[in-house]
Amino acid sequence: MNKKTSSRPVFPFTSIVGQEEMKLSLILNVIDPKIGGVMIMGDRGTGKSTIVRALVDLLPPIEVVENDPYNSDPYDPEQMSYEVLEKIKNNEKLSIVEIQTPMVDLPLGATEDRVCGTINIEKAISEGLKAFEPGLLAQANRGILYVDEVNLLDDHLVDVLLDSAASGWNTVEREGISICHPAKFILIGSGNPEEGELRPQLLDRFGMHAQIKTVKEPNLRVKIVQQRELFERNPIEFKNKYKDEQEKLTDRILTARKKLKEVNISYELLEKISQICSELNVDGLRGDLVTNRASKALVAFEGRNEVTPKDIFTVITLCLRHRLRKDPLESMDSGYKVQQVFKKVFEYE
């Protein structure tokens, strides 16, 4: 089996100081991608892009069908392109390679054709072929799609990304020709609230919402600057220093993925989650579902089997704060509101 790897050094995830809320949201989504992605809102220069790239470096390589533009899974028909399914039908032998978990950065000026892919109509008509040129969604299949400044992206494009992330498929239709391919990825968006919020109906489609703020403590700021300087001076040496911690975290994530099926949440706790969502006037059931999934992923990550109220308290703000209706006269952080209602429902101190 061949193996492709990228040699560019990436800042180690375990060396990142602070930003616990963001790190936890990303890890839980990697354990259970059905949580539905993360929206990271924070000031400029708080290391949003650095942390996302560091996350990808943690993930184990994946096996794909060689030369397949969609990173098709050689063992799961649900995650195969039609071309690969055809090969299997014709009993052709698949060549399998290992690649790094893909991470695609969506450029701000990207067009819909660049994102979804294009159909070459002339070729399709003249040669009778479905001449499809895959886009960024194809590259991101089975990996992570990162959109920086997502609040500056055209709403229509954000909609397309969210639809693909939720369904796991991308469909392109042009002049009566339709192409469908797997596009299962974790969507991570980041933005600066000063540049405008996402529309509420788009924001609600992100599973979790992490807020990151500029670190205020001088000693922590110094530590962050020093870490960065050490990394830039000698990336290889810096990475080696965190090698054991990185491997331990990767193992924990892989173990948690397997353990997820064994995690239980009692009916009583599910009812209380729904009561909180109801009292907060959260529209739809997405908040209930995401809080349930995120609690279970946290329990699996900690190597336990049963969800407790404390687990729910840890994740519920991240799952609900962006789903609350905003009162224009209210400046209170919505996280505080979620916690107050949680404490009331759970009689929790």
User: Known catalytic residue: 286?
Assistant: yes
Q: What is the DSSP string of 271-332?
A: HHHHHHHHHTT--SSHHHHHHHHHHHHHHHHTT-SB--HHHHHHHHHHHHGGGSPPPTT--S
CB 264 within 8 A of CB 307: yes
- Sign of the four-CA dihedral 116, 117, 122, 127: negative
- Sign of the four-CA dihedral 133, 155, 160, 123: negative
Give every CB contact of residue 158 below 8 A, 6+ residues apart in sequence: 147, 150, 189, 198, 202
Structural tokens at position 285: 């059931």
Question: Choosing from 8, 199, 257, 286, which is the catalytic residue?
Answer: 286
Catalytically annotated residues: 286
